[in-house]
């Protein structure tokens, strides 16, 4: 069964959502990240995707205290992304309670460092982050659009040992308009050895079922939960 991974995006210690990564579109939610995490665990969720948006913007983790609080309050498997670029950053993320880290910009800018992390920590600790706009990889909190094709990027890192990649369709993110099914189908066909976690645009249980049908191993769900399109209790259907 496909793994449902709720997302908690953090700015200034608060739960927020953006649309297409635009910081001008910020919406702040009433519940704290810890309260949200506890409510996810209560319906059987096992894994949580935490995005340190401040960290992504400034280039180093900025909300590790929140990660520590979530880790202390729950037994959720936390995967953390946002500004992890150096040895000190990744060690601090693990020390704060992250069980794996999402690496995107560093995989483009300092691939030798990420290759070293794969050897040092093991591929089960590294989630490759592939943020995609118009088939190209975006980095630096989605501010920089590279010329790197997403398929080439994923194939390269699969060959270097990565086992799982989170592919975010930026054009769909936060829009509640449905995920990029065609993009994920193409990726799964091209790199079948990689476990693909889909992110961006999920707005209904039907979207989840469709992504499961095409072979995604996991789905990150954010705004659909916060806006009430998918009820917390409905997530229990997919809880392992």
Active site residue 209: no
**What does residue 15 show for φ and ψ, rounded to 5 degrees?**
-75, 125
From the candidates 54, 79, 131, 173, give the one annotated as an active-site residue: 131
Q: Which of 9, 89, 173, 207 is catalytic?
A: 9
Q: Residue by residue, what is the 3-state secondary structure of the chain? A: CCEEEEEEEEECCEEEEEECCEEEEEEECCCCHHHHHHHHHHCCCCEEEEEEHHHHHHCCCCCHHHHHHHHHHCCCEEEEECCCCCHHHHHHHHHHCCCEEEECHHHHHCHHHHHHHHHHHCHHHEEEEEEEECCEEEECCCCEEEEEEHHHHHHHHHHCCCCEEEEEECCCCCCCCCCCHHHHHHHHHHCCCCEEEEECCCCCHHHHHHHHHHCCCEEEECHHHHCCCCCHHHHHHHCC
Our answer to whether residue 52 is catalytic in this structure is: no
Let me know: does 126 contact 101? Beta carbons within 8 Å.
Answer: yes
Residues labelled catalytic: 9, 131
């Amino acid at each position: 069964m496909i793994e449902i991974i709720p997302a908690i995006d953090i700015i200034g210690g608060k739960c927020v959502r953006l649309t297409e990564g635009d910081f001008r579109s910020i919406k702040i939610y009433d519940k704290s990240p810890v309260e949200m995490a506890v409510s996810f665990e209560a319906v059987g969720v096992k894994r949580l995707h935490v995005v340190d948006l401040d960290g992504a913007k400034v280039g180093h983790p900025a909300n590790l205290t929140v990660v520590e609080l979530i880790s202390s309050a729950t037994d959720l498997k936390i995967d953390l992304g946002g500004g992890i670029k150096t040895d000190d950053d990744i060690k601090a993320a693990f020390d704060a309670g992250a069980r794996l880290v999402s690496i995107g910009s560093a995989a483009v800018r300092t691939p030798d460092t990420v290759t070293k992390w794969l050897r040092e920590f093991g591929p089960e600790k590294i989630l490759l982050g592939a943020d995609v706009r118009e088939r190209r990889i975006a980095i630096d909190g989605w501010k920089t659009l590279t010329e790197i094709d997403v398929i080439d990027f994923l194939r390269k890192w699969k060959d270097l040992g990565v086992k799982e990649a989170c592919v975010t369709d930026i054009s769909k993110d936060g829009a509640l308009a449905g995920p990029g099914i065609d993009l994920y189908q193409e990726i799964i066909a091209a790199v079948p050895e990689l476990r693909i976690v889909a992110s961006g645009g999920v707005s209904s249980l039907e979207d989840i079922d469709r992504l499961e049908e095409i072979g995604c191993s996991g789905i990150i769900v954010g705004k659909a939960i916060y806006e009430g399109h998918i009820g917390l209790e409905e997530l229990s259907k997919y809880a392992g």
